[in-house]
Amino acid sequence: MINFKEQAVKLIATKVSDLSNEEILELIEVPPSYDMGDYAFATFRLAKTFRKSPNVIAAELVEQLGDSEYFQKIEQVGPYVNFFIDREKLAEAVLSQIFTEKNNYGSSTMGDGKKVIVEFSSPNIAKPFHIGHIRTTVIGNSLSKIYKFLGFDVVTINHLGDYGTQFGMLISAYKKWGNREVIEANPIKELLALYVRFNSEADEDPSLKDEARYWFKELEDKNPEAIELWQWIRDISLKEFNRVYDMLNISFDSYAGESFYSDKMPAVLEEMKKKGIVQESEGALIVDLEPYGMPPALIMKKDGSTLYTTRDIAAAIYRKDHYDFYKNLYVVASQQNLHFKAWIKIVELMGHQWAKDCIHIPFGMVSLEEGTLSTRKGRVVFLEDVLNTAIENTLKIIEERNPNLENKKNVAKQIGIGAILFQELFNQRIKDYTFNWDRTLSFEGETGPYVQYSHARANSLLVKGGFSIEETADFSLLTNEDEINIIRLIYDFPNTIVDSMEKNEPYFITRQIVEIAKAFNKFYNSTPIIVEDTKLKNSRLALVYSVKTVLNTGLGLLGIEAPDKM
């Protein structure tokens, strides 16, 4: 596709020899409104060299540049040279590419097959898959799709929390109060009840904490009873989790959790000792990170058991050896910023240059209106309950507004779950937010259902107009402002995907498809589409097809389905 910005740079470069193409590109801005052009070149930096005012420089440049096949006009506005893209060329470039590439529009081979690992979701075994897990799950899933779309070889890993002192607590609690049949009938809620009871009683009787530590050490030392209970708890928990993943259409290439690295940690500890970066402190092993502005990192407790830090280092080394990754992404809450900063620094101190390719992608926290989520106190909202409630509420709306809709239950699932996922991805990931049922399930405003409805409306128009992609469309007939605004937004869509990848921010795509949906609905309400003039009808339906295609792709990159009917 024509890169109009690049064409503007080339034009300016023919008249401004003092700046490189890269420097000219940095000085090109997007004006606040299209009335002022598609691109604007600021001349302030040239004032010293040319010994003239920026306004005069801009006026002279416009005169020197003359006409261009890529721009309808080039004009001066104060100290800026403003470029107006040729509308006919823009429409032809964008729509013909969509007709050729269809749902691959915006994809590329820029990743060149380089390996990218995305670790996300990673719930703790035997604990609820609650609303607090939705952010890592949804952001990570979207990022994995974005990287794949851009040609990277993506490996998705669910680094299950299936190890640690919490298992000592569960084993101890089960042996005291557990009933296998009762637990298997409702695994997560019953295991949570045991976990909450153990913590409550341990507050009164500290010896219970020693008992938990004992059973975790037994697990690390391969005690058969501890291993059998651990495996059983892991299996029934994963079965429960997979029910939620199925609802979200999410799958993983690997479920290698913390336990997978238990036999790999001795070698890591040995490597640290050989390289002299660990030291003993009150019987435990630590790495002194104070020179780097961080507290000491505990690597091994005095009883010989390991910690998250040790396991994450072992996991990173294994992944580099096994996958030889280009990037190793961790979609984990911002509360863990220090943890990631510490262990990545330790990997660097171990002499591994690839430590810089381990990237923590933090996100803000979810809280409840009544306070912070707390598994330990049993204060959680189950994610499955949220999804089911969204589906039920959507079905009620469909029954009221379109009771004869085909496949109502499936469409309710697509819209209900889509509403929740869209809300999660609508703002910058680093922002905290408070979970609120009404806001989460609202279908008004800039929401997933709004974009899905726009997609369904476009599909309905194509069916009604008898659109065929094989028919010739004259894109030069698309000249009114509402049509061109849609084309401009679609033109920007591939760059938006690249921005999302480079900044690991899916919300760029979310915002872009909302803007495309808005522009499409404005066009729908202002412009007759299915008209008697066959050429004009085919051209406008070609634009509708392009909107539908891009909305479908954008929603797909967010992990959201796009119904054809609503």
Is residue 242 domain-shared with residue 322, that is, in the same domain?
Answer: yes
Confidence (pLDDT) at 366: 77
Judge if 59 and 128 occupy the same domain: no
What DSSP designation does 253 have?
S
pLDDT of residue 371: 56
pTM of the predicted protein model: 0.92
Question: Residue 438: inside a domain, yes or no?
Answer: no
Quote the number of domains for the chain.
2
Same-domain pairing of 142 and 272: yes
Cα–Cα distance between 296 and 286 in angstroms, integer? 6
Rounded Cα–Cα distance for residues 69 and 67 (Å): 7
From 89, 127, 327, 455, active-site residue: 127
Which tokens belong to 402? 């379109």
Q: Any idea what the CATH number is for the domain that residue 360 is in?
A: 3.40.50.620
Report the half-sphere exposure of 548 (CA within 13 A, side-chain side). Answer: 22
Tell me the HSE value of 59 on the side-chain side, using a 13 A CA sphere.
Answer: 6
User: According to the model, what pLDDT value does residue 89 have?
Assistant: 95
Structure tokens at 451: 């974009």
Which entry of 89, 130, 159, 413 is annotated as an active-site residue? 130
The CA distance from 160 to 261, in Å, is 11
Backbone angles phi, psi at 450, to 5 degrees: -65, -45
Q: What is the pLDDT of residue 375?
A: 53
Domain boundaries, position 48:
4-85
The reply to whether 239 and 286 lie within a common domain is: yes
Q: What is the total residue count of the chain?
A: 566
Single residue among 85, 105, 138 that ends a domain in this structure: 85
Query: Among the options 133, 352, 360, 455, which is catalytic?
Result: 133
* Tally of helices (H runs) and strands (E runs) in the chain: 21, 14
Answer yes or no: is 382 within a domain.
Answer: no
How far apart CA 285 and CA 296 sit, in angstroms, is 10
Predicted pLDDT at 308 = 87
Respond yes or no: is residue 322 known to be catalytic.
no
Give the separation between CA 120 and CA 253, rounded to whole angstroms: 12
Asked if the structure places residue 489 within a domain, the reply is no
Q: Exposure of 285 by Cβ count < 10 A (0-12 exposed, 13-18 middle, 19+ buried)? A: buried
Boundary-marking domain end, from 316, 349, 372: 372
- 38 within 8 A of 30, measured Cβ to Cβ: yes
Give every CB contact of residue 439 below 8 A, 6+ residues apart in sequence. Answer: 423
Q: Do residues 414 and 452 lie in contact, with contact meaning Cβ atoms separated by under 8 Å?
A: yes
Distance (Å, whole) CA 133 – CA 23: 43
Using alpha carbons, select from 280, 249, 164, 154 the residue that is nearest to residue 213.
Answer: 164
- 422: in domain: no
Kindly state whether residue 366 falls inside one of the protein's structural domains.
yes
549 part of a folded domain: no
121 shares its domain with 209: yes
- pLDDT score, position 128: 80
- Is residue 236 included in any domain, yes or no? yes
DSSP at 295: P
Please identify, among 372, 406, 422, the residue that sits at the C-terminal boundary of a domain.
372
pLDDT per residue, tens digit, the chain (566 aa), is: 899 999 999 999 999 988 999 999 999 999 999 989 999 999 999 998 889 999 999 999 999 998 999 999 999 999 999 999 999 999 999 999 999 999 999 999 999 999 999 999 999 888 888 888 999 999 999 999 999 999 999 999 999 998 878 889 999 999 999 999 999 999 988 998 999 899 999 999 989 999 998 998 898 888 999 999 999 999 999 999 999 999 999 999 999 999 899 889 999 999 999 999 999 999 999 999 999 999 999 999 888 877 889 999 999 999 999 999 999 999 999 999 999 999 999 999 999 999 999 999 999 987 766 655 555 555 667 888 889 999 999 999 999 999 999 999 999 999 999 999 999 999 899 988 777 767 766 777 889 999 999 999 999 999 999 999 988 899 999 999 999 999 999 999 999 999 999 999 999 999 999 999 999 999 999 999 999 999 999 999 999 999 999 999 999 999 999 999 98
Nearest to 242 by CA among 129, 366, 156, 140: 129
Q: Indicate if 311 and 184 belong to the same structural domain.
A: yes
Is residue 317 located within the same domain as residue 268? yes
* Residues 168 and 46 both lie in one domain: no
Contact status, residue 40 vs residue 31, Cβ threshold 8 Å = yes
Buried-state track 119-140, b at ≥16 Cβ within 10 A, e below 16: bbbbbbbbbbbbbbbbbbbbbb
133 is catalytic: yes
d(CA 40, CA 31): 6
Torsion of CA 370, 371, 373, 379, to 10 degrees: -50
- Asked if the structure places residue 283 within a domain, the reply is yes
Residue 51 burial (C-beta neighbours within 10 Å; 0-12, 13-18, 19+): exposed
The pLDDT of residue 98 is: 97
| Pair (75, 130) in one structural domain | no
**pLDDT score for 356:** 98
pLDDT of residue 474: 94
Tell me, yes or no, whether 44 and 145 share the same domain.
no
Q: Which residue has the tokens 């997979």?
A: 242
**Amino acid 165: pLDDT:** 81
Q: Is 127 a catalytic residue?
A: yes
CATH code for the domain of 78: 3.30.1360.70
Q: Are residues 67 and 136 in the same domain?
A: no
Q: Domain check: are 269 and 171 in the same one?
A: yes
